[in-house]
Structure 1
């Protein structure tokens, strides 16, 4: 059944008569609000309290008009909260209305409950209303005027009935929280003990007091921890029932934090004192306090030990002056006097005579303290027996003197050496100039080799081709001689080209830019594509690192190594070609793991090792030193073509890049050439 079809006036069956009489006797009125039609039904006592005249049912607006203008908003907020399904439907409000006869304002307390349809719509509110003593209003005024933070929480729902500016400031809230349950006004209290404490006060009636208790509050949008001295005091009505709890609080956050800081400082001071004691003990440091007026000294046992005195016998300033050697006594007295007059630190090292007549050194320091009228009355400090240090110092001073004399003699020798080095430097400059001229001559030779020497060879080959055409049908051995001549000219041309390459690599500085070795090997393979296809070679290349170097020189290096692997291939028993299998692998080797015989041109913590291995004819490792020399060949020119310069070029390129090259092999089992490059930092 919808709210619109419900009866506005509740039924009054006979079994409720006793309840009605009890309410009338208590001066309590009842009411029912039809929320959908904004009509309110009031019994006689309710109408009397509101000062209404007329029938039992009146418009809700007419009833609101009877409420004090300052209280109407609070009543409306309380009703809106009650008809919200999430609020639980509880309605509570305190407000003022005029008495019908005197027209003076009086306070009413109104309680009720909302009823909701299946769709969650509040269709009806039913409740009671009663006049309350003016003490509640007086309490409200007292709370507003209270000099400390004060709030009033009514009922077990802990409705914030009153909250002065001080407590609102502590909460970081404004007056809109008044009329809300405390748990809604300060949701951050969930999980903290305060709501449980308030509930316990309603159950036991016992007040609660705490000092320096932490409380987490959201202030300016930030959850922060504060500390409070506060009380929860239960308030009772005329019947002795607890109807509210008054909260009075003082923010003591600064005091609590200051106290904690003080405790931390005290703890640090205690630790410092303990460490100081340990340091004094570890360093054999004794401490003393000297009374400047009487000369009496309060010495620790270690202090007396430092002076060679029994620890159970008094030891004062006159006793100290007596054991100080006469030569040092005036110096000590002057140092103490100056420290007192200028109020500065005192420091002195002097000699004393122990009771066994042995000589000892003591270092003493101190500072004037306990000032009265601007003048110190005491001096506090420490002492240390430093005889061993002094003896060591004397030995060191003697050694320093001897060393100084040795250094002076060495300096004279160095001066003479510098003169020799200056002369040597001039010789080196002259040698460098000669080397520069030599390189220039080499470049000129390279130019001549590239142009002037190649030209006659080309003419020899051209004339040979003409003669071969003329003697196409030779009677004798003319054609054989021509072919030998052209073959020799061709070998000479290749040799000149290789020498030119070697000369360029030897005399020109390698450029330094990032070079990807994978691209270098790819370019070398493209240059050798014809030879690879002719030999049906299989080549596997691992991903290679990048280094700093000269791209052209590095291409030449790997092209020479790959060319050798293709050239020095094996044949089977029938004389057929065994296809070359070439693998290029990479690894990183620490300098400590390099082969003993390997000497890279530049030192580094680690090196990239690029290994080029094949299944060719191999060679005897007895000739390992020869293969990297210019014009050194292990095979005749009829077996394998070549000039004996290729591996020398490889070694030169590796050296130019701060690395080195090595090889391992066995005849008939292939060879592996390993090139080492420094790993860039």
Structure 2
């Protein structure tokens, strides 16, 4: 912009005051002077420089801008003896780091100067138009505000787009267009630049702009520079800016990520490190500093080896050298022991790293992490010791087991012999059942028949011997009943093969007619609830409930009508009484309860009553062989269930049967 301006301007830059001046200033030097760009100094012997040098030195030393509106500085043109009077303004210039590093000198001809090179008014207008075009086409935001109220005089499209207020903003005050900036200090910054003449610059400044009714966050690098007229008076402020929102957000995200990573590393009790290969210096995180006992965050590599166990140093050095070899995978992996400075604490550290290469493929960094694995290695050693101990114990146990196996083999041989004896005993039992049903029954029937015959034909003649005859006939009858019960019990050695789904309701209804006469004679009441269907043998289940109903009606109290109730319920296996041990385990069971109001029995006999030939009453008081309840227990066992009884004398008895629910193993 300076080079194309029609106003005479020059820049003096750096310690050597290297000079750049525009065409308008070149015109005052005359055609004999060559245009000088950066790298060539203006001739300091000319009268112009002699007069202005002290002012430039003062501004370069740090003073504010200097205006010389009332003093003519004369420059002798090389083209002739004509002298031109100029009014000059010297302003400081900043470099990219906003450090003072040069001056800008603006020259305006005074009103009395006469000459062919005097600037014309039309030239100034053209220069202003050119400057406006340059501002408007600049790719970064630029705005010019005039007056103490900061009225907008010139803005480019870049700043219009950032503000998001539309294009019709020229002539409005800065605060009217951007009211959301109240309280942020920006109004005060502009006013300070206008009143003091000192430029203001901000780096990565947060600015919230109202766009489409919503505050939107931005970050800017911006400057407010005072604008002066030909007399050096401040008439406005120029605003230049760079939108660095994306960069700042990325930097913030990076800082957050780094903080999160550091937090995660600390929580995981890890450490991070970085080896700068050209300098040989290693930078550590706090955890590793503590492990090694370092006081500084950065240490030379040769000092890093000192806390490492002497026997492990060569291995660590070799692992680093291997990772740095050209053509290697660049992976560093080493585990070593170390003892921190001024400490007797020994640690075991596992470190891993990766070589980082520059664009030319040269390794310049080795970065990685480390973990204190002392506890893990101690546990591993303890575990290995425990495994070794257990291995020895297992070997000894195997020897004992081998000896026990020999014993078991001998026991199995004995069990096999016992099983053969059991098989022969079972065969003998079956033969006994056959003999009992055929050979014993036949002479017993003859005794009963001859007894009946003697009683009918010679009863009157026998006289007193009739009593013995009756006793003989009764004994024969009991013998016959006993043989039949023994046969029934021996037939229940296992559940039959004709198992099927059986309705217990149907079983009870099927046997009730057998007790019809007894029920009528005694006035008994039998109440039956809805009973379930189970999987079993119809014949055996019939025997079971026939015996239970027979006992309930038989062992009744005198002058009391029998009351028999049959109820059912479904129970979980966890709800079974502790004393009940079913033959088959399943999740659910049917509980069938048969209760009566009979004479009952003492509960000390509740286990004994299910044994063969066990009677709690005299044979003359109640008929029976003592096998009926043994049959009941055998039937429930054959069906995978169990039976229990509860009672007390004179208060009836309760028999509870438990059968597995169909569909549950």
Give the alignment's TM-score, normalised by structure 2: 0.55
| Shift in alpha-carbon separation, 1:614–1:385, aligned structure 2, 3 A | same
| Cross-structure match for 1:101 | none
Matched, 1:404 2:388: no
Matched, 1:645 2:627: yes
| Cross-structure match for 2:290 | 305
Task: Give 1:354 deviation, angstroms.
Answer: 0.7
Deviations 1:131-153 (A, max 9, x none): xxxxxxxxxxxxxxxxxxxxxxx
| Cross-structure match for 1:431 | 418
- RMSD of Structure 2 on Structure 1 (CA): 3.4
3-state SS in 1 of match to 2:402: helix
3-state SS in 2 of match to 1:582: strand
Cα distance in 1 for residues equivalent to 2:532 and 2:257? 57
Task: Give 1:520 deviation, angstroms.
Answer: 3.8
| Cross-structure match for 1:654 | 636
Report if aligned partners of 1:306, 1:384 keep a CA contact under 8 Å in 2.
no
| Shift in alpha-carbon separation, 1:444–1:298, aligned structure 2, 3 A | same
Deviations 1:507-544 (A, max 9, x none): 56777654444344344435544544444432222233
Deviations 1:463-502 (A, max 9, x none): 3333333236546245544443332222111111111121
| Cross-structure match for 1:471 | 458
Report if aligned partners of 2:526, 2:565 keep a CA contact under 8 Å in 1.
yes
| Cross-structure match for 1:566 | 553
Higher gyration radius (CA): 2
Cα distance in 1 for residues equivalent to 2:633 and 2:257? 67
After TM superposition, the structure 1 = structure 2 runs for residues 150-169 of structure 1, keeping only pairs within 5 Å, are none
- The match for 2:268 among 283, 286, 291 is 283
| Cross-structure match for 1:79 | none
| Shift in alpha-carbon separation, 1:534–1:319, aligned structure 2, 3 A | farther
| Cross-structure match for 1:453 | 440
Structure 2 stretches lacking a partner, 5+ long = 1-252
| Shift in alpha-carbon separation, 1:396–1:482, aligned structure 2, 3 A | same
| Shift in alpha-carbon separation, 1:672–1:350, aligned structure 2, 3 A | same
| Cross-structure match for 2:598 | 616
Cα distance in 1 for residues equivalent to 2:514 and 2:366? 92
Task: Give 1:302 deviation, angstroms.
Answer: 2.3
| Shift in alpha-carbon separation, 1:518–1:390, aligned structure 2, 3 A | same
Task: Give 1:324 deviation, angstroms.
Answer: 1.9
| Cross-structure match for 2:478 | 491
After TM superposition, the structure 1 = structure 2 runs for residues 381-392 of structure 1, keeping only pairs within 5 Å, are 381-392=368-379
| Shift in alpha-carbon separation, 1:342–1:674, aligned structure 2, 3 A | farther
Report if aligned partners of 1:591, 1:606 keep a CA contact under 8 Å in 2.
yes
After TM superposition, the structure 1 = structure 2 runs for residues 335-350 of structure 1, keeping only pairs within 5 Å, are 335-338=319-322, 341-343=327-329, 346-350=332-336
Task: Give 1:416 deviation, angstroms.
Answer: 0.9
Report if aligned partners of 2:641, 2:658 keep a CA contact under 8 Å in 1.
yes
Cα distance in 2 for residues equivalent to 1:592 and 1:633? 34
| Cross-structure match for 1:353 | 339
Deviations 1:178-197 (A, max 9, x none): xxxxxxxxxxxxxxxxxxxx
Cα distance in 2 for residues equivalent to 1:344 and 1:524? 92
| Shift in alpha-carbon separation, 1:272–1:469, aligned structure 2, 3 A | farther
| Shift in alpha-carbon separation, 1:305–1:492, aligned structure 2, 3 A | same
| Shift in alpha-carbon separation, 1:357–1:666, aligned structure 2, 3 A | closer
| Shift in alpha-carbon separation, 1:417–1:321, aligned structure 2, 3 A | same
- The match for 2:307 among 323, 338, 341 is 323
Report if aligned partners of 1:471, 1:479 keep a CA contact under 8 Å in 2.
no
| Shift in alpha-carbon separation, 1:419–1:526, aligned structure 2, 3 A | farther
Report if aligned partners of 1:360, 1:385 keep a CA contact under 8 Å in 2.
yes
Cα distance in 1 for residues equivalent to 2:511 and 2:318? 89
Report if aligned partners of 1:618, 1:665 keep a CA contact under 8 Å in 2.
yes
| Shift in alpha-carbon separation, 1:364–1:477, aligned structure 2, 3 A | same
| Shift in alpha-carbon separation, 1:451–1:370, aligned structure 2, 3 A | farther
| Shift in alpha-carbon separation, 1:615–1:298, aligned structure 2, 3 A | same
| Cross-structure match for 2:176 | none
Task: Give 1:647 deviation, angstroms.
Answer: 0.9
Cα distance in 2 for residues equivalent to 1:484 and 1:375? 124
Deviations 1:237-281 (A, max 9, x none): xxxxxxxxxxxxxxxxxxxxxxxxxxxxxxx99999998665533
| Cross-structure match for 1:674 | 656
3-state SS in 2 of match to 1:613: strand
Cα distance in 2 for residues equivalent to 1:364 and 1:397? 23
Deviations 1:82-134 (A, max 9, x none): xxxxxxxxxxxxxxxxxxxxxxxxxxxxxxxxxxxxxxxxxxxxxxxxxxxxx
Cα distance in 2 for residues equivalent to 1:516 and 1:346? 79
- The match for 2:429 among 426, 437, 442 is 442
Structure 1 stretches lacking a partner, 5+ long = 1-267, 573-577
| Cross-structure match for 2:228 | none
Cα distance in 1 for residues equivalent to 2:498 and 2:259? 66
Cα distance in 2 for residues equivalent to 1:513 and 1:347? 72
Deviations 1:285-305 (A, max 9, x none): 122344455544443322333
| Shift in alpha-carbon separation, 1:475–1:458, aligned structure 2, 3 A | closer
| Shift in alpha-carbon separation, 1:479–1:353, aligned structure 2, 3 A | same
Matched, 1:539 2:526: yes
Deviations 1:579-622 (A, max 9, x none): 32111223345555544444444455554332211011111223
| Shift in alpha-carbon separation, 1:622–1:354, aligned structure 2, 3 A | same
Cα distance in 2 for residues equivalent to 1:591 and 1:271? 59
Report if aligned partners of 1:471, 1:478 keep a CA contact under 8 Å in 2.
no
Alignment size in residue pairs: 408
Report if aligned partners of 2:599, 2:649 keep a CA contact under 8 Å in 1.
yes
Cα distance in 1 for residues equivalent to 2:625 and 2:518? 18
Matched, 1:587 2:574: no
Report if aligned partners of 2:283, 2:297 keep a CA contact under 8 Å in 1.
no
